[in-house]
């Protein structure tokens, strides 16, 4: 019953994805498939200021609209100012007159549905909950159920079925700023020709944190075996004693001091676009579950991924060679250096 409306002539899509970095990255295969199916359509996205750089330079998107969450407002930016700015954005989106708003998130999302309805598109596509009367407002809905475990990419991709798009989703897509990448290469001293292993030493969830001692031991062991290999260190910027946004500046400094004389290159990235650009300079990665893991996969990098109390079947690196290490304890601190070494050896060309 959906196809009849589509044949009338699709002109404007709005893809709504307002949550974390990895969630939006996992939505890029959906956006790319939408562009391939409707090459002449206008395809816009509504995201937040935090994850917006994920779509920078993406040729599948005509325009990225973003709003600021109250918890993400900058110093000097009032809550009232943020609310007014958001109201003006929603007014502009209503005037655009979208044919389809796609609530691009797994499960039934009432808050996103409320937003989609406020924008007054002709049709709303999203997952529904048959037991929730609000689902009736999604006129092109898919009852949300998981007969088998799915990756986030696969789960969200199912939302394209009402538009006649089925099959397997493609790879995730990111488009790093090449000029920024070369600036980071110069400031960090990363070589252009030698192989580079990227290591992201931070993790938001305590169960996903690998001790700095293990990172140091891994680099020392790899250096003995692959003396030509260089190491790019990435971390969450900030002071570790900050009660609101603790970072790993001190952890990085201790590692660099401990590994003095080795080809270790801290890559300072205070913005998401810089993290994406910096990670594009590496050949493969060791890192824990989180947004950086999905950045690495979307940049087509082989990954050794460390999982604690996270659902590896749903959040493992999508579409790239990878090894998942998840100990029975669900504590990444229990993963040994030898296990990571063995996993790296299973990835393409570790030292070449």
Residues 146 and 211 in one domain: no
Tokens of 97: 């007159």
In a domain, 350, yes or no: no
Residues 158 and 184 in one domain: no
Domain stop point among 163, 197, 222? 163
In a domain, 299, yes or no: yes
Global model pTM greater than 0.85? yes
Instruction: Count the neighbouring beta carbons within 10 Å of the beta carbon of residue 312.
Output: 17
Which CATH number does the domain housing residue 212 bear? Answer: 3.40.50.2000
Residues 94 and 18 in one domain: yes
Asked whether 279 and 292 are in contact (CB, 8 A), the reply is yes
Tokens of 150: 């799915």
Domain stop point among 163, 193, 221? 163
Asked whether 92 and 109 are in contact (CB, 8 A), the reply is no
CA distances from 171 to 23, 63, 106 (A): 14, 21, 18
Residues 18 and 116 in one domain: yes
Tokens of 283: 């050949």
Domain stop point among 114, 135, 163? 163
Residues 224 and 95 in one domain: no
Residues 194 and 69 in one domain: no
Residues 37 and 96 in one domain: yes
Q: What is the DSSP letter of 144?
A: -
Count the domains in the chain. Answer: 2
Residues 265 and 200 in one domain: yes
Residues 214 and 243 in one domain: yes
Domain that holds residue 153: 2-163
In a domain, 293, yes or no: yes
Residues 159 and 262 in one domain: no
Residues 144 and 274 in one domain: no
List per-residue pLDDT tens for the chain, 352 residues long.
454 445 456 689 999 998 899 999 999 999 999 999 999 999 999 998 889 999 999 999 999 998 876 565 666 666 776 778 888 999 999 999 999 999 999 999 999 999 999 999 999 999 999 999 999 999 999 999 988 899 999 999 999 999 999 999 999 999 999 999 999 999 999 999 999 999 999 999 999 999 999 999 999 999 999 999 999 999 999 988 777 677 999 999 999 999 999 999 999 999 999 999 999 999 999 999 999 999 999 999 999 999 999 999 999 999 999 999 999 999 999 999 999 999 999 998 654 4
Residues 54 and 132 in one domain: yes
CA distance 67 to 87: 10
Asked whether 30 and 45 are in contact (CB, 8 A), the reply is no
């Amino acid at each position: 019953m959906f196809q009849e409306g589509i044949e009338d002539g699709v002109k404007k899509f709005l893809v709504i994805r307002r949550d974390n970095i990895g969630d939006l990255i996992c939505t890029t295969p959906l956006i790319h498939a939408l562009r391939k199916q409707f090459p002449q359509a206008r395809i816009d996205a509504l995201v937040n200021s935090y994850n917006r750089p994920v779509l920078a330079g993406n040729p599948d998107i005509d325009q990225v609209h973003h709003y600021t969450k109250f918890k993400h407002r900058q110093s000097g930016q009032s809550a009232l100012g943020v609310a007014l700015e958001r109201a003006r954005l929603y007014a502009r989106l209503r005037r655009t007159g979208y044919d389809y708003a796609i609530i691009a998130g797994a499960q039934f999302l009432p808050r996103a549905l409320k937003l989609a309805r406020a924008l007054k598109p002709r049709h709303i596509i999203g997952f529904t909950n048959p037991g929730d009367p609000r689902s009736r407002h999604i006129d092109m809905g898919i009852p949300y159920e998981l007969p088998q475990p799915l990756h986030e990419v696969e789960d969200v991709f199912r939302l394209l079925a009402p538009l006649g798009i089925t099959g397997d989703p493609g790879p995730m897509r990111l488009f790093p700023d090449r000029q920024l990448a070369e600036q980071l290469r110069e400031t960090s001293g990363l070589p252009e020709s030698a192989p580079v292993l990227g290591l992201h030493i931070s993790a938001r969830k305590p169960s996903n944190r690998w001790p700095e001692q293990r990172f140091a031991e891994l680099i020392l062991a790899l250096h003995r075996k692959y003396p030509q290999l260089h190491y790019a260190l990435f971390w969450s910027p900030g002071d570790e004693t900050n009660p609101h946004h603790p970072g790993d500046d001190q952890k990085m400094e201790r590692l660099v001091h401990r590994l003095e004389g080795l080809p270790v290159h801290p890559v300072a990235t205070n913005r998401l676009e810089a993290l994406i650009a910096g990670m594009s300079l590496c050949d493969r990665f060791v890192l824990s579950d989180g947004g950086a893991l999905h950045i690495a996969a979307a940049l087509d990098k082989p990954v050794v991924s460390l999982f604690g109390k996270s659902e590896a079947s749903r959040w493992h690196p999508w579409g790239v060679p990878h090894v998942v290490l998840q100990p029975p304890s669900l504590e990444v601190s229990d993963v040994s250096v030898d296990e990571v070494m063995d996993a790296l050896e299973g990835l393409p060309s570790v030292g070449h």
